[in-house]
Structure 1
Amino acid sequence: METSARGIAAPAALYEIAGRRFEIGSRGFADAVADAHAAHQRPRCLCQVEGVEMYVARFGEGYIVKRMPDTGSHHAPDCPSYEPPTEFSGLGQVLGSAITEDPATGETTLRLDFPLTKMPGRSQMPPSGSDSDSVVSDGTRLSLRGLLHYLWDQAELTRWHPGFAGKRTWATVRRHLLQAAERKLARGSPLRTRLYVPEPFAPDQRDAINARRLAHWQPAVAAPGRLQQLMLLIGEVKEIVPARYGFKAVVKHLPDQAFAIDEHLYRRLGRRFESELALWGAADDIHMMMVATFSVAATGVPTIAELSLMPATRHWLPVEDGFEKQLIEQLVAQGRSFVKGLRYNLGKVSALACAALTDCEGSTPSLYIVDAGSQDREQHRQAPSPSGSVWLWNPSFEAMPSFPPRHPSQPRAAETAVECR
């Protein structure tokens, strides 16, 4: 959780700074945060009686209060800074090795297992999209899919509260992803300078949007005698289809420029992401997110070098298959608050919680879907859970069970209206 002194915040955050208590955005809060940064003081989040230590880092022209590394589970489940223990998702495998955060500087160093440069004329599939041996990682580097999951987590797009309904537009998703990329270093340079997330398209702003895009892509334009630099793209796929020559990916909010895909990559795409593409084709309300590295030819044509796909619901919550989609949609429809689990580098052979409920009294139950056709419920009962409480659903043998009850004090969907972040 990152809480901006400029007022970008989730509800109910209360901090103690230099012996004084402040609510987010209250009078004097921004000055107190700036003073704490100058004095190297540690604010305390008061979601727990004893408080949880935080730290202050610079963010643009202001400051943000951030949780200390690996302390998200120390916060109360309904606190904006709460996150399940790292073993709840694939984050535990990569934190501290592929992801290293320095509280002294507020910077996070990311070790990637994919290149950001390439030799001309080569493309490949990432190791992040299948369950073959290329998916299995030693955890010391982030796969392309792992990077997308990390940014989605950091942007808090895996967190859901009933007040977020109707407020997650592409503009909101984009803003949070770009904020999540701030103060992240990859291959020795700021990740933000490499990352391109398309602006919401507006016909009357077409020329200005295109000019900003071309300026941002300039470092990736091919030049004689220079190693080809790659950019990172995160966008929603509109279609991946044959072109007049080869194949192309069309990204939403980018109507004026498709991304070239060579035949080898296109053929492997259908095999590697067969289940994701099947879900996308069967459900009109699925957002198919793509993370890709791409180069820009001297002629200005962008070409994808490597990519991974991630389906997401209409509320931009990532899902792996149709059963997860049913589960997440039920949670949203019932006005529940939860955190969505993501795999990062883990393959599907590992039991992973679909979500953890954050609106229950005294616990944070983990929700597991037993693999279709599997009767090994014990594997899931022994899987990690933030509170030891496990909810299981085996779609092959039973209807979806009732969820653990909500705490009576937790608001329902119509009782709150707070934007995600």
Structure 2
Amino acid sequence: MSEYLFPTGEILETATPEFQGALADAYGDTSNRVRCLCKTGGLPMYIAKRGELYILKRMPNTAEEHAAGCDSYEPPAALSGRSEVLGGAIKHDDESGRDKLRFDFSLSRSQRPQMSDSAQASGDSVRAEPNKLSFLGLVHYLWDQSGLVRWKPFGAVIRWEQVRERVLRAASGAEAKSRGLSDILYMPEQFDKDRHDAQEARRIGFFKRFEQKASSGYLLCIGELKEFSESRGAHKLTIKHAPGVAFLMDKVTAGRFGRRFKAEMASWAADEKTRLIAAMTCAIEGGIAHVVEITLMPVTHDWIPFDGAMEKQLLDVLMRQEREFIKSLRYNLAAGSPVASAILTDAGEQGVALFLPPEEPEARIAWAERIEGYSGPTWEWLGGDMPALPMRASEAE
């Protein structure tokens, strides 16, 4: 956990009980900023206020300057698909402090898009134009912003209620077409049988805001997949913590869903520790959710996204060896794109980018071109037996 030097000379961690009060006292002082002590001399920070809560944030464009193990560190954008969408699909508005997002999928009832069978035509599985965020790219953005891509050993087990809280907080810092993302995003509350009636009343009230009319648009839903089945002639999807709520698919959409996400569903069925995050746009009609578009994101039991069996194996090894890392996400880029799988944050101030290069010669050339400008330390696994991981900084000393 990072330490911060306050103008008073105090050095505090975020978990310190006095931290909020210290932020309140330092709020508005731009001549003597709080400094992050992840590196010698410290790096200046700024304080934002949301309601009664004070939030310490890194200065713009300084994410890579922080030490790899710091809470404020972010890997270079070139190591993920983030670099492809920054400034286009994702634009930060300094005045409002929010990110403005543009999507290549519709939130409006004026269009009812069809999910494609083809992985080559599906916006959630190939590189979309950099000025619009794919559906999977949106989920990656929310996971990135919520810190769910960061993993450290010995941390508390993250339950769905923490996932929900983090993602909704991330969504509150973004908007699409002047609508706050958190205003249209439904994520079920952690199921509690003693509070279920109240939870269900809140869910029904939220759905009512999207009842069938042109101005209401589609509801956006993110949850953990529980089941996909056919019952009474209808195809339906259910998510955990929302018992009794069915998300219906027509026959055509269900068929495309089954073909497009066959591999993800098979991986999920084969490994009980794999979770599937489902993100859907839904038309609400008579209180019932009808799926318009959907994407799936496989994640580990600890909610870390992964692409394919080899990357899942790498993440399992990292966790088993109790390493600290940040998972890199591809956003709009196609599966198998030349991005780092993860960045080790316990192997020095720069961190070490972990790569799984493709076997095909043409793909290997594209991979090499993409990381050509990255000068930091790297590690590669070309298949076969996994090479030893870089040593922890504490072991190398």
Whether TM-score is above 0.5 comes out as: yes
State the alpha-carbon separation in 2 of the partners of residues 285 and 246 from structure 1. Answer: 29
Aligned-residue sequence identity (percent) comes to: 37
1:137 correspondence with 2:128? yes
Answer yes or no: is the 8 Å Cα contact 1:130–1:347 preserved in 2.
no
1:282 correspondence with 2:270? yes
State the alpha-carbon separation in 1 of the partners of residues 115 and 130 from structure 2. Answer: 19
- How far the C-alpha of 1:388 sits from its partner, in A, is 2.5
Answer yes or no: is the 8 Å Cα contact 1:16–1:46 preserved in 2.
no
Structure 2: runs of 5 or more not aligned: none
Match of 1:38 among 28, 49, 52: 28
Aligned to 2:201: 211
Bigger shift: 332-341 or 199-208?
Answer: 199-208
When residues 53 and 96 of structure 1 are mapped into structure 2, their CA distance, relative to the original with a 3 A threshold, is farther
2:344 is aligned with what amino acid?
L
Describe the SS at the equivalent of 2:168. helix
When residues 238 and 274 of structure 1 are mapped into structure 2, their CA distance, relative to the original with a 3 A threshold, is same
* Number of residue pairs aligned between Structure 1 and Structure 2: 392
Bigger shift: 384-393 or 141-150?
Answer: 384-393
Aligned to 2:212: 222
Aligned to 1:108: 99
Cα RMSD, aligned residues only: 2.6
Counting only pairs closer than 5 Å after superposition, residues 11-26 of structure 1 correspond to structure 2 as 11-17=1-7, 21-26=11-16
1:162 correspondence with 2:153? yes
Answer yes or no: is the 8 Å Cα contact 1:363–1:387 preserved in 2.
no
1:130 is aligned with what amino acid?
A
When residues 33 and 139 of structure 1 are mapped into structure 2, their CA distance, relative to the original with a 3 A threshold, is same
When residues 380 and 402 of structure 1 are mapped into structure 2, their CA distance, relative to the original with a 3 A threshold, is farther
Answer yes or no: is the 8 Å Cα contact 1:98–1:112 preserved in 2.
yes
Describe the SS at the equivalent of 2:298. strand
Answer yes or no: is the 8 Å Cα contact 2:68–2:348 preserved in 1.
no
- How far the C-alpha of 1:125 sits from its partner, in A, is 2.1
Match of 1:184 among 174, 197, 201: 174
1:269 is aligned with what amino acid?
F
State the alpha-carbon separation in 2 of the partners of residues 32 and 103 from structure 1. Answer: 24
Answer yes or no: is the 8 Å Cα contact 2:3–2:11 preserved in 1.
no
When residues 38 and 217 of structure 1 are mapped into structure 2, their CA distance, relative to the original with a 3 A threshold, is farther
- How far the C-alpha of 1:386 sits from its partner, in A, is 6.2
Answer yes or no: is the 8 Å Cα contact 2:207–2:287 preserved in 1.
no
- How far the C-alpha of 1:23 sits from its partner, in A, is 3.4
Counting only pairs closer than 5 Å after superposition, residues 342-353 of structure 1 correspond to structure 2 as 342-348=329-335, 350-353=337-340
Q: Deviations over 1:247-290 (max 9, x none)?
A: 11111111111101111211111222232222112212110001
1:400 correspondence with 2:389? no
Answer yes or no: is the 8 Å Cα contact 1:130–1:273 preserved in 2.
no
- How far the C-alpha of 1:319 sits from its partner, in A, is 0.8
1:66 correspondence with 2:52? no
1:294 correspondence with 2:285? no
Describe the SS at the equivalent of 1:114. coil
Q: Deviations over 1:335-387 (max 9, x none)?
A: 00000011101113531111010001354111112336669766656653865
State the alpha-carbon separation in 2 of the partners of residues 38 and 175 from structure 1. Answer: 27
Describe the SS at the equivalent of 1:118. coil
Match of 2:68 among 62, 77, 90: 77
1:251 is aligned with what amino acid?
I
Describe the SS at the equivalent of 1:203. coil
Bigger shift: 330-339 or 375-384?
Answer: 375-384
- How far the C-alpha of 1:157 sits from its partner, in A, is 0.6
Structure 1: runs of 5 or more not aligned: 1-10, 411-421
Answer yes or no: is the 8 Å Cα contact 2:116–2:256 preserved in 1.
no
State the alpha-carbon separation in 2 of the partners of residues 409 and 60 from structure 1. Answer: 44
- How far the C-alpha of 1:133 sits from its partner, in A, is 7.2
Answer yes or no: is the 8 Å Cα contact 2:211–2:287 preserved in 1.
yes
State the alpha-carbon separation in 2 of the partners of residues 400 and 139 from structure 1. Answer: 34
- How far the C-alpha of 1:68 sits from its partner, in A, is 2.8
- How far the C-alpha of 1:20 sits from its partner, in A, is 5.7
2:159 is aligned with what amino acid?
T
1:402 is aligned with what amino acid?
A
Answer yes or no: is the 8 Å Cα contact 1:248–1:261 preserved in 2.
yes
- How far the C-alpha of 1:26 sits from its partner, in A, is 4.2
Q: Deviations over 1:41-95 (max 9, x none)?
A: 6433221224323222222321211123332111011111111011111111111
1:365 correspondence with 2:356? no
